Amino acid sequence: MTTDGAGAMNIVEIMRYLPHRYPFLLVDRVSECDGKTFIRGMKNVTMNEPFFQGHFPGYPLMPGVLVIEALAQLTSILAWKIFDTTPDGGQLIVFAGIDNARFRRQVVPGDTLLLEGRLNRLVRGIGKFEVRATVGADMAAEASLLAALRPNPAAVGHS
């Protein structure tokens, strides 16, 4: 068991940065965030997840796209910190791209998915992040993700 580091966030704090809610909120805790280049968090994977009913009956696997989504959610928290702003309804951090995604280990109920993101570069409101998800010492997934700060179309004209 590790202790939480600088920039740690509990679920209430996470929900201040992410618009996602159950069943699509896929980050349970942030254990470390320097607010500039690095973030680490986790997702407890339980049999209660709604996607296990159909993926796959008799052999429950967390879909790889949801592992990537968990990483995207984690890095969007870092992006808010980097942009030195908070989600106020006027802007969104949106998933803008993915490169070099690789899945190396299946994620199953009972696993603790450890999530990490590191800023690679930031140009004109678009951040490129190197991300990885592990279970214990085993790599589950890795990729390069793009996140962009954009106006929230739902907020236009509603100030």
Please name every residue paired with 68 in a beta bridge, in sequence order, or none if there are none.
Answer: none
What contacts 63, CB < 8 A, 6 or more positions away? 51, 55
Of 55, 105, 118, 132, which is the active-site residue? 55
Phi, psi dihedrals of residue 31, rounded to the nearest 5°: -95, -20
158 a catalytic residue: no
The three-state secondary structure class of 17 is helix
Catalytic residues: 55
